[in-house]
Amino acid sequence: MEKVIEVKDLSFGYTKDMILEHVNFSVQKGDFALIIGDNGVGKSTMVKLLLGVNSPTSGEILISGKKVRSLKDSRIGYLPQNGGSRAAAFPATCEEIVMSSLYKEIGFGRFAGKKQKEKVQKALALVDMEEKRKALIGELSGGQQQRVMLARVLAGDPEVLILDEPTVGVDAESVDRLLHILHHINIEKKVTILMVTHDIDKVGPFANRVLCLSEGACNEEALPQAEIIHAHAHSHPKGEGAHIHCANCEIDHVHDREHCPECRHCEAYHDHGHTHEVIREHVHPHHHDRGEVRKEEK
């Protein structure tokens, strides 16, 4: 598999004290990877390093094979933490905000054309916000604002999407909707996703890889149920016709959609009978060797 993000022996600190030490991990094309960890372990710092906002003290980051310094040339989309609520005080329409992501395509000192306007409509349609295109972002709910911010990122046709805690401050229903949109983008549009999150219970089932930042290092983890769902989504195209029993609402239904039509829970998740229990597989940070895996139950 093609590696989209490669972090090699990365160390970083704002002062002499290192926040991240000898971190190694990679994200492959098509992954829906999560970065988890306690507050202050350096999750957002890692995102800033990936985006090229900060430079590593040592080590390197490659995005699509290029050093992170040349990030402006790569195809990365970034959705910041509380992006929607930060935008709320800005007097702009959803259309104007989404258009701002097409800067590179439009060019310095030039104006948007028909092609860019069509892209904006498509991006808003992708997040089901087409009807609100003329609405001021400040007049939308938190979940809707977050979807507009996602449309803004998607309008630029990114190959990799980096999201920093996109579910924070968003109600449960909106989180569910946002995650299904991300799942659709990941599966249908083949966009690689790397998400920093605390919300492992909700996001976990949609991901296929979990990276845990702890004490300055990055540990590769496994979320068995998440991998099953991710693989399931890849291997069972819509309309295959298999009958699935939804453990949540106790109804058998034809497997012609990704989620139970009654309760909207992911049938594969319940079908396999997994709970939210996470089996963690810690890899020694300094020796990124699968042979040194130790397991613990959480």
Partner 1 sequence: MPSIFYYAYMQRALLVGFLLALLVACLGTVMVHKRLSLIGDALSHSSLAGVALGLLGGFNPVIGAMAACVVAAFAIEGIRKKLGNHSELAVAIVLSTGIGLAGVMSGFVKSSADFNSFLFGSIVAISKFETRLVIVLAVVVLFSFFLLYKELFYISFDEQAAAISGVPVGLVNAIFTILTAVTVSIAARTVGALIVSSLMVVPVAGAMSVARSYKSTIVWSAVISVSSTIGGLVLSFYCGLKPGGTIVLISVLWFLLLHIWKWAAGTKTIGKGA
Query: Which residues of the shown chain bind partner 1 in the complex (CB under 8 A)?
Result: 51-53, 71-72, 76, 78, 80, 83, 85-93, 96-97, 100-101, 103-104, 106, 108-112, 134, 136, 138-142, 144-145, 156
* Nearer CB in complex with partner 1: 95/220: 95
Work out how close the CB of 85 gets to partner 1 at its nearest, in angstroms, rounded to a whole number.
8
* Nearer CB in complex with partner 1: 136/228: 136
Work out how close the CB of 293 gets to partner 1 at its nearest, in angstroms, rounded to a whole number.
35
Work out how close the CB of 47 gets to partner 1 at its nearest, in angstroms, rounded to a whole number.
11
* Nearer CB in complex with partner 1: 106/168: 106
Question: How many CB atoms are located within 10 Å of the residue 92 CB?
Answer: 15
Radius of gyration of the chain from its Cα atoms, rounded to whole angstroms = 20
Nearest Cα to Cα of residue 173 among 134, 147, 208, 211? 147
Distance CA 149, CA 133 (A): 12
Work out how close the CB of 92 gets to partner 1 at its nearest, in angstroms, rounded to a whole number.
4
Instruction: Catalogue the E-assigned strands of the chain.
Output: 3-12, 20-28, 32-36, 58-63, 66-67, 76-79, 160-164, 192-196, 209-214, 217-221, 243-246, 251-254, 279-282, 294-297
* Nearer CB in complex with partner 1: 42/204: 42
The CB-side HSE value for 119 (13 A sphere, CA atoms) comes to: 22
Work out how close the CB of 119 gets to partner 1 at its nearest, in angstroms, rounded to a whole number.
14
Distance CA 108, CA 140 (A): 30
* Nearer CB in complex with partner 1: 2/108: 108
* Nearer CB in complex with partner 1: 5/244: 5
Question: How many CB atoms are located within 10 Å of the residue 262 CB?
Answer: 13
Percent helix, strand and coil across the chain, each to the nearest 5: 35, 25, 40
- Hey, what are 242's tokens? 């298999």
CB 26 within 8 A of CB 54: no
- Hey, what are 222's tokens? 């496994």
Work out how close the CB of 40 gets to partner 1 at its nearest, in angstroms, rounded to a whole number.
15
Work out how close the CB of 73 gets to partner 1 at its nearest, in angstroms, rounded to a whole number.
8
* Nearer CB in complex with partner 1: 137/185: 137
* Nearer CB in complex with partner 1: 162/278: 162
Work out how close the CB of 109 gets to partner 1 at its nearest, in angstroms, rounded to a whole number.
5
b/e map of 176-197 (b: 16 or more CB within 10 Å)?
bbbbebbbebbbeeebbbbbbb
| Interior angle at CA 80, CA 77 and CA 81, nearest 5 | 150
